Amino acid sequence: MVNKLSPISLIAFIFAILVYSKILPVKTYYIDNSIVPSTQINYIEGTIISNPKKISDKYYSCDINITHCMNKNFITSTCSGKIIGLIPTILVESLFPNKLFSKSKSNNILPIEQGAILKSSVKYIKNKKNNISFIFNNIEQIKYNNNFIGKIQKFRAYCRLNFRKIIYNWGKAGGLFLALLSGSTDNLEKDFINLFRNSGLSHILALSGMHLTLISSLGLIIKNNVQQKKTAILFQSILIFLFVWFAGLSPSLLRALIGFILTTLCFLFDIKIKNQINLLSSVFLIHSLISISDLFNIGFILSYGALLGILLFSPSINSYLIRFIPEKISSSLASSISAVIFTSPISLHVFGFISLSGIISTLFASALITLFLYLGIFLFVLCLFIPCFEFFSNFSMNLIYKLIFEIVKIFDFLPQIYI
């Protein structure tokens, strides 16, 4: 049963109603303080603020904070705002392993990652959602700030690039490992992505609380060897913040990080969390203050919707299932069913279908993904120090990858519901 909601939950509920009914307007992509109209801009200077994501063979998409713009008559203006930038694939992948065009590039080319400052001629386009978007068709300069933050961002960019290079020899398994640790699905097979989507397992590939839990669980290694719980929490916090720094803050991962911080603070100050819905409401409001544009991201909506569904329905469903199956299985199954119940209307509206097989396949896929991730981290570190283990790691990771693929395929038998 759900306890009485606190004022914080009521505020979150009212705020959500106002935002999603569009009574309270929220700007997602916009350009402010510019004397040049958006449709006339043909030159932009701005900073990438999200991980570039491959959307086609031609382009990567990323969010960009702009600072300067110009039109074809050379009228220049300072400005502010956030736009969608479409950057040519050949440029983003110029330093990636096994790219023929990367060999002909100058050593001065920098990785195009979060924090990179771009100066480029652009072309204004309209997308289906009428977001402000530009094609960066002739990038003149890529640089990172020379201050402390800029150097950290540049270091992160090279860490992500070198990570790609190291796991490249893992082939298909390397693509999945890259997705689980960096949020990039660029190297995943289309068949694999389609199977997970059709099986209702896309949430496993999207960085979220599950991945944060898996990473933080590594802190249990130290928990068993120290008496002070605060030391263990510190170790877990370091692991989590390093992971988030490396992977980048997707909406679902930011939600999980805020939840972890609030839960940790409550533990340190001996504050008991009596109502999980109130905690989720607090996370929702803080998240909205940090990045209000996330509110219309489908990952954000499904992430909060799934958690709310679990908190509302899981206890009742579990109390029924536990009569027939063991508690560990019943609780996981109840969570899957609850999440599907609450997010199905959203999935039907956005994607046009829902997949019931995800309720069952999540139980098996999550266990195998956990094994895959932990083994991958171990073998990755091992190969750094003992390169001769590369063949063994390649064989082991691809074996589990094939096992994940085949088991998910087995459970892809339940019908999809379309509208």
Residues 236-267 have pLDDT tens digits of 888 899 999 999 888 889 999 999 999 999 98
Return the C-alpha torsion angle 77, 82, 86, 90, nearest 10: 80
d(C-alpha 238, C-alpha 201), whole Å? 29
Count of CB atoms within 10 A of residue 3's CB? Answer: 10
Cβ distance 361 to 406 under 8 Å? Answer: no
CA angle, 237 as apex, 386 and 258 as ends, to 5°? 130
Residues 337-384 have pLDDT tens digits of 888 888 888 888 877 777 777 777 787 888 888 899 889 988 988 888
Which pLDDT does position 8 carry in this prediction?
92
- Give the chain's mean pLDDT: 86
d(C-alpha 201, C-alpha 13), whole Å? 28
Which pLDDT does position 208 carry in this prediction?
73
Q: Give the C-alpha distances (Å, rounded to integers) separating 45 from 60, 130, 403.
A: 18, 21, 46
Residues 14-49 have pLDDT tens digits of 999 999 998 998 888 999 999 999 999 999 999 999
d(C-alpha 71, C-alpha 345), whole Å? 44
